[in-house]
Amino acid sequence: MDTTESTTSTTPQPAETTLPRPSGYRWMILFLCWLAFTVIYVNRTAWSVVAVSASHSLRLSVAELGIFATAMSIGYVVTNIPGGVVADLIGGRTAVGISLVAAGILTFVFGTVTNLALGVVVQVLIGLVSGADVASFTKLLSRWFPLRERGTAFGLYITSTAVGGVLANATIPSLMAKLSWNGVYFVLGLLSVATGILCWTFLRNEPPREVAPMPEPAKSRGSRPSVAMILKNRNLISLSAAGFGMQWGTLGFLAWGNSLMVKAFGLPTGKAALVMVVVSTTAIGIKPLVGFLSDRVRGTRKTHLMVLSGYFVLILIVFGLLHSYTAMLAFAPLLGVGVYGYTVLTNSTVPQYADPRHVGSAFGFANTSWQLGGVFAPIAVGAVFGATGSLLLALSVLAIGPLLGVILLLPIREKPEPVADGHGFAGSGNHAIE
């Protein structure tokens, strides 16, 4: 089945201006998705904050500290695609509710573990039950927000990752001082369950009126998602592969940024951390800004992505040429734009390329590809930096990813999007096929 390819690339669709005004409840949907993803990211960041304290009671070595985070990541990557399929079959509302409640119960259980083996098992299970969450959020937002508003909606929604990280680092240390690391996980578990119940109660799968064209039943053969359907979608495959390259740069830099600055220039750990904080804090502002502008600047998502990915390449190389801490700190916000700016567009573009009924499955496939960039990039950077000790060469290895991203976006064929006017409605634009 290749209806997605033809729908997004070559077959004219009904103009969005003919669709009714979207429901105001879409902002509640956005808030709940943002809240849930913020809680999820607080949970994912928690171990990095409590690890040293927990290592004493669990009798873990330094080498074993990262095992728990890796265990959860493995479970999460494994269930990205199945989780997306589940979201399509049972609906984003139910999938989010089940995922958060199950993850919350397991998070609470993690606070009771007393040894490494049991802890790894619980973390893998948390990853496994979390595979449907992001795909569900993407599906819900794509159903409630019209194309002309999706950049803005996804830009606001994705700030949750940065906010979650800030909240975790700001609140967990004081909470741990009162409750110990076990108590932190008891609180986080209860918070996740409560958020899951809230989402289950107030999320809605379908808006009261359509805000985006749906496939005509006569032209849609079959209603179940399949791997074959995804593999036939040229646009989605290209976006997934390009996103792998971009995430190679982002996740590789986040994994190695501190160490590269410390080891290459002998910076104190605190100074290197400050640079990374500035880079990450930039995400809170740049993500909604990129989303807002993408809804209003003429051109295709493909074009916008190519520009941002190309910028990421250049900014990594320039950062690698700097030799003073002052310059690095001043340059950090510009680097933050490169590291995080494109993420809004990769996330918001998946629903545009996918069959609307199978957005969860499509996002699960794409996200699996993107996450793999974070698996392999740190290994490559470590090998190059270990052999050369050069910050420039290490960052050049990272820059290869977004450079490939630019190239891998070229096969995509899509129409330029209508540009939103001051009232949020699409204005006239060039709808010619690229």
Q: What is the pLDDT of residues 4-40, one digit of tens each?
A: 333 444 333 444 445 668 889 999 999 999 999 999 9
pTM exceeds 0.85 for this model: no
Q: How far apart are CA 93 and CA 87, in angstroms?
A: 8
> Tokens 């069959």, residue?
355
Q: Which string of b and e fits 70-99 if b means at least 16 CB within 10 Å? A: ebbbbbbbebbbebbbbbbebbbbbbbbbb
Residues 6+ apart with CB under 8 A from 365: 80, 81, 84, 227, 230, 236, 240
Q: Provide the residue ranges of all domains of the chain, joining segments of one domain with +.
A: 23-202, 228-409
313-327 residue pLDDT tens? 999 999 999 989 999
Q: Give the pLDDT confidence of 106-145 residue by residue, as tens digits.
A: 999 999 988 888 888 998 999 899 888 989 999 999 999 9
In one-letter notation, the amino acid at residue 170 is A
Domain covering 23-202: architecture: Up-down Bundle (1.20)
CA dist., res. 330 & res. 320, Å (int) = 14
pLDDT digits (tens, 9 = 90+) for 37-78: 999 988 888 887 787 788 777 887 766 766 776 777 788 888
The tens digit of pLDDT for each residue in 81-103 reads: 888 889 989 999 999 999 999 99
274 and 261 Cβ atoms separated by less than 8 Å: no
CATH 1.20.1250.20 corresponds to the domain 228-409:
yes
* pLDDT of the residue at 187: 95
Contact 383, 398 (CB under 8 A): no
